[in-house]
Amino acid sequence: MTSAFRNRSVPPAAALALALAVALPAFAATPINETRPLDPQGSVEIDNVKGSIQVRVWDRPEVKIEGSLGDGVEKLAIEGDKQQISIKVRYPNRGSGIGFLAGGDKSEPSDLKVTVPLRARLDIDAVSASVDVNGVASRELKIDSVSGDVVVAGAPREAEIESVSGDLNLTLNSPKVSAQTVSGDLSLRGRLTGEVAVETVSGAVDLTAHESSLNKLSGESVSGDLRIAAALNSGGEIALKTVSGDVRLGLQRDLSAVVRGESFSGELRAPNAQIQRPKHGPGSSFEQRYGSGSGRVRMETFSGDAVLDLN
């Protein structure tokens, strides 16, 4: 170090700025505390790219938005009226989404905690943000996520929940449910009393609905397993189909349905069923009637196994 540098004095203002720069963290989140009026059965749209979205309910005719905006976020946009409110975290370079997906957005994650009326309709859109919804009893719940995990516990009349690589962990007391993933696992349980549709590519599906009876259940998978434990109403229908994934279906002991199973190279099993195999070539199938045979159940695989248990 030269003597000229050692003897050079630092101006007081510059010294103060340097001290503050050292003391403050590299990123500073902006706190959120906003409230807007909303009809008890109004609609709420929530959009956040990265971070988290948490939704809780109360009995007030208003929406409360809390949490924090990450450093570098453009703004929190709250728009709408008493019938419909939109809450969106706007990130730089989002535009059509190309800038964000290409890594051009260097902003920090944002965390939203939104409290809504118990019966408000919810429409949530997330990319890599995790989603946690608890207590909702709306007429409609819709969640669309890319890589963030989704956890839901509630009783919406209709639920439509999708994810690409994030896991879905759902506890629903609902008459109509549709849940889809690509590579994420899907767990669905609760009092499911009407129609349920589950679909995955490589993720596993676990559906448990012991305390309720379904009218209609459809499940499809490519390589993921379908594991179902439920009850079927009289005259109800179940259709399960996979390529290489296994199917394990558990239904009530007093089942009333005609059950059909078919596989190209997988193993088929069902109580009292006689498995039919052609004399030449692969493939197997069966058809078995239980009770009065009022319902219809079909299990179909290419190379995966298909098993029916009656408990």
Residue 211's pLDDT band (boundaries 50, 70, 90)?
A: confident
pLDDT at 88 over 80: yes
Tokens 């009893």 locate to: 137
The predicted structure's pLDDT at residue 8: 43
Phi, psi of 167 (to 5 degrees): -80, 150
Mean pLDDT of 15-36: 63
pLDDT at 195 over 90: yes
Tokens 């807007």 locate to: 36
Phi, psi of 267 (to 5 degrees): -90, 140
Q: What is the pLDDT of residues 103-141, one digit of tens each?
A: 556 789 999 999 999 999 999 999 999 999 999 999 999
Q: In degrees, to the nearest 5, what angle opens at C-alpha 69 toward C-alphas 65 and 70?
A: 160
The string of DSSP letters for 88-128 reads: EEE-TT-TTSHHHHTT---PPPEEEEEEEETT-EEEEEESS
DSSP element (H, E) containing 253: none
Q: What is the pLDDT of residues 152-194, one digit of tens each?
A: 999 999 999 999 999 999 999 999 999 999 999 999 999 998 9
Q: What's this model's pTM, rounded to 2 decimal places?
A: 0.87
The predicted structure's pLDDT at residue 66: 98
| Domain segments of the chain as ranges | 27-132, 167-311
